[in-house]
Structure 1
Amino acid sequence: MTKTLHIVGGGMAGSEAAWQAAHMGVEVVLHEMRPKVETFAHQTGNLGEMVCSNSFRSDDDEQNAVGLLHWEMRAANGLIMSTAEQHRLPAGGALAVDREPFAETVTARLKALPNVTVSYEEITDLPTDGHWIFATGPLTSASLGQAIQQETGAEALAFFDAIAPIIYADSIDMSKAWMQSRYDKGETEEERTAYLNCPMDKGQYEAFIDALLAADKTEFHEGETAGYFDGCLPIEVMAERGRETLRHGPMKPVGLTNPHQPDIKAHAVVQLRRDNALGTLFNIVGFQTKMKYGAQTEVLRMIPGLENASFARLGGIHRNTFLNSPTLLDNQMRLKSRSNIRFAGQITGVEGYVESAAMGLLAGRMAAAEILGRDLPEVPQDSAMGALIHHITGGAEAKTFQPMNVNFGLFSPVDGLKGGRRGRKDRYKAYTDRAKAAWQDWLANFS
């Protein structure tokens, strides 16, 4: 076998895999079909382009599983986390980034490595020899998807994903909206005012729900039975589950005080988060949508403060594919039927930028170790990385396997911390302390 590692897909997982393998001394060829072959969701040919949101979610590494994953990736010299920190935007306790310079920097840092070559071409088959990682993500091309289906002997599972709209800041009416993070969360004034809030009274909320339910929407084509990932539901689907669902989800009014009417409690609040460092763009938080474009502008302009909103990008819906990894992959993320091929990222059945990049990090290190003839111990299940890879490669029930974010439910129990009023906070801290120690021990194998 050749000693070169080929990685297909230059998203979060593929970029992180290339970075990790290259830093272990392996020659890497990163194959990216964009911009020659476009996708519905991508805007550029940059590596690491963020498609849906500009947030990596919570950065709390003691009480949140995704924040713990951030910590583990930083400890492993992660490209995605270090670049995110470089282009960080105020977002309360979340790690949000300026998406365009983020992707530009990811691209530049990878291309600057002497042992990384970026090849802009579409890979349409599964190679029979060589070392390969397929990190093609949820928008795997049709031809490659067919090759995967032929190899696995079963159709890839699929679900639908939606994108939230982005609005020009100067088109927002600040006489109605205001800047405040929920519960004034953040250590600096900038962090405490990271979100833009648009309040609704009960009548406005009810009219908005009516319009949302009646709006023209993009529907599944006949024969498509894929569902949605619960962590990225379109707002219309949430509204269909009950008129109060949005008030207890992305439109919850808690932890906010309207300075324009401080004595009046909003019935619901729509939040927008800065989408770039200049503060000229804002995305509507949690407002993934499958409304058709004309309906989107009409319905979203019903939100107080957005009556004259100008849209930099409207929302949309696209089909995502993922493998039944518990059935098809071994604990090294290799395809059981072709051990020269690994899969990484969202196509393996993890959900989210961070989780995708984390699986790329592991796949890159595992593939490089194999090429270099080095034995690696199994990723410790007590770490966030280990809990996630264990879930997708054997811990989950294959018959009901669905995309999963990292969460503490994937972790084995901590002895002596069961139930009680103080149980959850102490348990989460115990999880993170144990995970950090386990992860550092595993990383020591690379020193």
Structure 2
Amino acid sequence: MRIVVIGTGYVGLVSGVCFSDFGHDVVCVDKDARKIDMLRSGKVPIFEPGLDRLMIRNVEAGRLTFTLDLDEAMEGAEAVFIAVGTPTRRGDGHADLTYVMAAAEEVAQKAKDYIVIVTKSTVPVGTNRKVREVVAAANPALDFDVASNPEFLREGAAIDDFMKPDRVVVGVETDRAAKVMAEIYRPLYLREFPIVTTDLESAEMIKYAANAFLATKITFINEIAALCEKVGADVKEVSKGMGLDNRIGKNFLHAGPGFGGSCFPKDTKALARIGQENASPMRITEAVISINEQVKRRMVDKLLDLCDGTFNGKVIAIMGVTFKPNTDDMRDAPSLTVVPALLGGGATVRVVDPQGRHEGEQLLPRVDWIEDPYAASQEADLIVILTEWNEFRALDLGRIASSMKTPRMADLRNIYTAEDARAAGFKAYSSVGRPDMEG
């Protein structure tokens, strides 16, 4: 089957590459000439483990191409996936659908034969019906269907998520569209991965409900962590005890500095807005948004306590600034709250991150980028673990402590223990939801 994917951002590129690996003929379209040139030369503009190799393999097999020309791409296409950005709109928290609607209108103008127009971008409930209206207005004679196919890709594990999904959600209006979507996902049908076929609105809502629930789990355990610090409990033990209950599950119960990234912040805000517009307030989701920001600010207070009440004149080494490991994504990362607070307080900030520098140089000006965690720790007053990259999980803590001006650590991902820190020579150690160690 010939498939067109509009948008070569995270969702579009991963989807296009994986569809081609299913055996489909895939054309990825983008208006950014620099990005298309990069992809044609075999370079991936995002960091996602394994994506570059999979892309090159399918390009070499002749199943995957990249172009700026939608006219050329649409020739013989049976399905078009819209995978453009839906950023949070300024002022009202709603998802900005400008790019989605523009893509839909352009597809309508280029299409000649029956086609299924699939929304892959995360969009508010009702968007696919609006897409239908836009397409019908732009080309009244076109024979087409619309479909909703939300993505559930975790950054850092996207290929595995696409190839071995927990489920695939497909929202359609007609049997004809359902058959096209079934053919697209045939390799997953054959391996009996769950395919949920439903109506358009339910498919759209599934995406928001799932992400809001996961964000709620993270926020809940972060609130429990704050209480654990007050009463002397250990949130890691609490999380373990909770997670062994199959009704709860262990995933997303890891206390830390708050959630970030491309999905949870944007989707919780959009869901809250949808609730407001439909006179059905999402009070839990609204609380999650507010509390998550409080969690990030609480991390700043924690660091301030470790620095004797002032950041002025302190040298602070930050380990990790991306919102999670195995990605270069810094959207709404806790570092964007923590680092500016340190700089604003007069600290010198050194940053170590395996992939964060490309975006970080724009988002975090005035920090010193250092490749090696040991070099960053030299004569530092505080080391802060902000992202749990594997590179930071087995540090020689003794070597770090002995090189620091004042050996103090804020372990905001609970990688180590107070006992580890004490044995290594640290004078103060603070984590999230566990008792602090002080010299």
- The TM-score normalised by the length of structure 2 is 0.29
- Give the structure with higher Rg (CA): 2
**Whose helix fraction is larger, Structure 1's or Structure 2's?**
2
| Higher relative contact order (CA closer than 8 Å, sequence separation 6+) | 1
